[in-house]
Every structure is written in C-alpha cells, then in structure tokens.
DNA sequence: AAGTGGTCTAGACCACTCC
DNA sequence: GAGTGGTCTAGACCACTTA
C-alpha cells in the first residue's frame, strides 16, 4: 500500500478496515491490530486510526475495550438510524399540504396502562390532548397525548388549537431522554372513524415517552392511517 | 467559567452547548459562535470544540456548513438508532429458546412487486426461501426471502435446513448498503396459519433490501407474530 | 477572495481493565 | 502493574462555500 498515495484520510482507513473484515482477513471474534500498529502499517497518525476505528465501532462491526484491544464483533448488529421529524415537517417534506385539527383538550386521570408508563398515582390528573394531522386534506395520523403540566407550567400558555402538541413540545420543552416503540395494531372504532378506515384495519402505531431527569414529561401515541410506511437506509 | 476546573472534555463542551440551545440562549436559526471563539471562551483547543460540535450536529440540533458557520437547527429532528440483530440473537437475548424451520426452498420468478424492488427482468429466476423462526416454541416471525444466486454463488453450499438465510447471509455475505421499511399489515391466510393467528390480524412487517455495488443481492420480508414491538431509546 | 469547518499530525497524559 | 483505547493540545493545511 505504499504507492503514490494522497494523504491517508480517516475515511480511507475505515474503508480498508471494513474491507479486511468483509473479506474475513479479520474474522469474527479475532482481535485486530492495535491502533499503533495500524498507524505504522498504514502510514498515518494514531489519532487518524482512532477516528476510523471509532466509526467502525459505531457501526457495530468491532468492539473496543481498553487494555483488551479491538475485536471483530461476533454478532454483527445492524444499526439503523431513523429520522423522526416533527409531523408537520414530515408531511411537508413529501410535498403535501399540512393540516391540523385539535379534537379535545382536558384534564383527566389516565387509564391504567398509561399510568403504568408514567409511573403516575391512581388519582393524578394529567393534561390530555387529542388531535389530528392531515396530509393534503387526508387523515394522516392521530396524536393522543398526556402531558404533566405540573412539570411544564408554560403549557397553559400554549394554544393547541393553533399549534400541535407535537410541534409545541419540540420547540419549547427541552428533553433529556425517552423511549420509542413501533407496533402494529387493529384500528378501534374511534380511530377508524377519525382515519376514515374500517374498524380492525391494521394501523402502524408509535408510542413515545419523553423524560427529564428520569421523570416522564409526556407520553404520546401516534396512530397512522393504513398504508403508512417508515423507511430508512442502512 | 474560569473557576477551579478540571480539564475541559469534549463531553463537557457538548453539555454546555446543549444547555445554551435548550435555554434558548442560542435560539433556533441563530448562528452559534465559531469554533475558534468557543475554544477561546471555554478554554480548550479548537479540535475539542470540533469534536463536541460534531456530536451535537449528529444529534440533529445544529447544522454545520463550511464558510457559513454553525446554526441552531430550525427543525430539530429526533434521530433514533435501532439495533437490528440476527433473529436468533434477538430471541436469545430475551432469554427465550430459539427455534428454526425451513418451509420451502426453490427457484422461481418473483411476483411483480418484488421484481420491481429487485429491478429484475420479467423472466429472471431467483432463489426463493421461506422459513420460520420460533421463540420458546411459539411462532415469532416468517422469513420470506429472495436471493440473487448468480451474485452469491456460495449460496448453493448453504444448508438452509440447518441455518436460516438471515443468519447465513449476515455471516457470509458482505453488503454495502440497503434500505428498510416498517409497516403494519393484515395477516393473509397463509401467514395467519403459520403464525397461529387469525386472518386479518394486524402484523408488524419489516421489508429489507440489501445491495452490493448498487445491485440488489437479496430482499426479505419479515412478518412478525401479533403483539411484536420494536423498542428503542432516544 | 476569504473565512469556516474538516482533517491530519506528533506528542502527551489519563482511565480503564485485564492479567 | 502494565498495556490499550480515550482524549487533549497546538499547529498546520485543505476543501468547500458564500460573500
């Protein structure tokens, strides 16, 4: 590899490492050369090798541990990144016209399954909002959200007839962590009615809970109209 | 910020940047200080600032362009990473016993929708495999896969009665790129029969196509048993 | 044309782990 | 205790953009 090369970039180092892993020059479970050794072999600084190997590790193809070195992963895990934009953005990015309608807004005690998610006592009342998002006038998704307005007092100033909770929260409330689930469900009567489909039709559902300092701030259930697909690249 | 500090780490710089964005010290759309300025202000090297800002950019909270500088993103996009392990691994990681059965293996011309995905001429024949994966003896997912065995000749040596195409391919075939979709569908009669559910039950479906040098190598459709959830952290 | 982020280098120290 | 990856630094050059 010592031809009339340009300068080695970390991308080129990464490509070389990926090549060796793909061709089983370095087989699953094998240790790979240390950063120092690779730097010498490939004619670059150790930090360049470090940058490349970090990228390979992020892809799940090698595992790195201090003192133990780097090993080719035994169980290569595919890591996929999903972009989750604000719903309005998602619709407009597809060239469709965005529409939004508030369905209901009140305070209520969440049903048991929601309480479990929120670690909420059986008598605590949350802000409950239901709304719909449209693409080109057609129902796109139902937003069913519970908000802890004791933790987010500014919420009382929000006008959810004009801006969706989805968008308001993203723009207003800093969040720390959360979890997301994706699942398939049968549309219940009310969902079907709102989405303009038949009861029992399969619908794609996203459940998301957002936390701050370990405490749930809000949990939302998004029920997408039949036919919705989430796509991404590997 | 010039108290008796430890040395500034890129994580601490990142935390400070995130704090300023959250508190709207730097509002959406605003330009943020240049790397040089931040390095001076926070008392560290520019490369440390660079490392921190790159991390913030990966999270989708700022946009960086040469010459134009870094700006707080107008539409913060949540980025979520999904881990997609080999099916066997996924089941065993949950503490369940993995089971696998080959249903059918033959050569056939794919139906039109699959041909479209594969950019396959109307008369080309592909290797078609159907198989099932079990968790603790219960049907977990149907694997319905088409493989281009002209591009993957080694496939003739694989024994898909003993190892699933899913696992064999991950372990054997290097891939370059691909795409994944997630959707909800109604179980058709055959799927329902295999999964032990009712026809029309909502099922979570994953469609994945893998390419090498732009050419599709394989496309697979995974039909999960009702109740399946994909979970991840933000 | 000029300014900003992207990257490389060489050297250094440190933190974590495994022996 | 020793070796490996993790990170910081100071300086440099480059690539890309936009003014």
Considering only residues B78 and A180, tell me which one the structure prediction assigns the higher pLDDT: A180
CA of B49, C1' of C1: distance in angstroms: 27
B84, A77: Cβ pair inside 8 Å?
yes
B residues 56..95 contacting A (CB < 8 A): 60, 75-86, 89
- Strand D positions with any atom < 7 Å from protein CB? 2-12, 15-19
Chain B residues whose CB is inside 8 A of the A177 CB are 233-234
Q: Identify the pLDDT of residue A6.
A: 60
Q: Identify the pLDDT of residue B4.
A: 38
What is the token pair recorded at B75?
């539409």
* Three-class DSSP category at A119: coil
Gap from B179 CA to chain A (nearest CA, Å): 4
Q: Identify the pLDDT of residue A2.
A: 36
B230/B234 Cα distance (integer angstroms): 13
Q: Identify the pLDDT of residue A26.
A: 94
Nearest to A209 by CA among A146, A142, A121: A146
A69 nearest nucleotide via C1' and CA: D4
Chain B residues whose CB is inside 8 A of the A77 CB are 83-85, 89
Q: Evaluate if the CB of B154 falls below 7 Å from strand D.
A: no
Interface test with B, best of A57, A61, A80, A205 (most B CBs within 10 A): A80
A194/A210 Cα distance (integer angstroms): 26
Q: Please, are residues B96 and B176 in contact by the beta-carbon 8 Å criterion?
A: no
Mean predicted confidence (pLDDT) in B165-187 = 88
Nearest to A41 by CA among A10, A69, A2: A2
Nearest to A33 by CA among A25, B221, B226: A25
B residues 117..146 contacting A (CB < 8 A): none
Q: Identify the pLDDT of residue A197.
A: 95
B230 vs A: CB within 8 A: yes
Mean predicted confidence (pLDDT) in B5-24 = 87
Average pLDDT, chain B: 91
What is the token pair recorded at B181?
């979709």
Considering only residues A111 and B6, tell me which one the structure prediction assigns the higher pLDDT: A111
Beta pairing class for B202-212 and B126-135: unpaired
Mean predicted confidence (pLDDT) in B34-50 = 94
Gap from A11 CA to chain B (nearest CA, Å): 15
A200, B205: Cβ pair inside 8 Å?
no
B213 vs A: CB within 8 A: no
CA of B43, C1' of C7: distance in angstroms: 21
- Strand C positions with any atom < 7 Å from protein CB? 2-12, 15-18
Mean predicted confidence (pLDDT) in B77-88 = 87
A84, B75: Cβ pair inside 8 Å?
no
Gap from B38 CA to chain A (nearest CA, Å): 22
Mean predicted confidence (pLDDT) in B44-59 = 94
A75/B91 Cα distance (integer angstroms): 13
What is the token pair recorded at B135?
């968790």
Mean predicted confidence (pLDDT) in B99-120 = 94
Q: Is the dihedral of CA B111, B118, B128, A183 positive or negative?
A: negative
A230, B80: Cβ pair inside 8 Å?
no
Please give the DSSP secondary-structure letter assigned to residue B130: E
D10 nearest neighbour residue (CA to C1'): B45
Which of B22, B170, B202 lies closest to A186 in CB terms?
A: B202
Chain B residues whose CB is inside 8 A of the A224 CB are 184
A218 vs B: CB within 8 A: no
B99 vs A: CB within 8 A: no
First to last CA, chain B: 30
Q: Identify the pLDDT of residue A213.
A: 78
* Three-class DSSP category at A57: helix
A170/A165 Cα distance (integer angstroms): 8
* Three-class DSSP category at B83: strand
A64 nearest nucleotide via C1' and CA: D5
pLDDT of B131 above 80: yes
Which percentage of chain B shows pLDDT scores above 90?
72
In sequence order, what are the residues at sequence separation of 6 or more whose Cβ sits closer than 8 angstroms to the Cβ of residue B73? B28, B60, B61, B62, B63
Query: Residue with structure tokens 């209901």?
Result: A104
pLDDT along chain A (234 residues), means of 10: 60 93 90 94 94 93 92 85 90 93 95 91 92 96 94 91 93 81 95 95 96 89 96 88
Query: Residue with structure tokens 């936390």?
Result: A211
């Amino acid at each position: 590899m010592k031809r009339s090369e340009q300068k080695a970039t970390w991308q080129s180092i990464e490509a070389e490492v990926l090549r060796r892993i793909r061709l089983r020059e370095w087989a699953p479970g094998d240790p790979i050369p240390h950063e120092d050794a690779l730097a010498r072999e490939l004619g670059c600084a150790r930090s360049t090798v470090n940058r490349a190997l970090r990228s390979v590790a992020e892809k799940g193809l090698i595992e790195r541990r201090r003192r133990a070195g780097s090993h080719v992963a035994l169980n290569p895990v595919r890591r996929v990144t999903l972009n989750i934009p604000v719903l309005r953005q998602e619709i407009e990015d597809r060239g469709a016209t965005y529409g939004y309608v508030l369905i209901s807004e009140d305070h209520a005690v969440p049903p048991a399954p929601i309480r479990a998610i929120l670690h909420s006592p059986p008598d605590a009342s949350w802000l409950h909002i239901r709304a719909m998002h449209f693409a080109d006038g057609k129902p796109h998704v139902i937003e069913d959200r519970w908000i802890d307005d004791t933790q987010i007092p500014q919420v009382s100033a929000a006008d959810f007839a004009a801006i969706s909770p989805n968008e308001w929260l993203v723009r207003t409330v800093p969040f720390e962590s959360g979890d997301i689930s994706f699942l398939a469900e049968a549309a219940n009567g009310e969902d079907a009615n709102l989405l303009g489909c038949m009861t029992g039709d399969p619908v794609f559902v996203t459940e998301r809970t957002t936390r701050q300092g370990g405490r749930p701030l809000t949990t939302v259930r998004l029920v997408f109209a039949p036919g919705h697909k989430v796509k991404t690249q590997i």
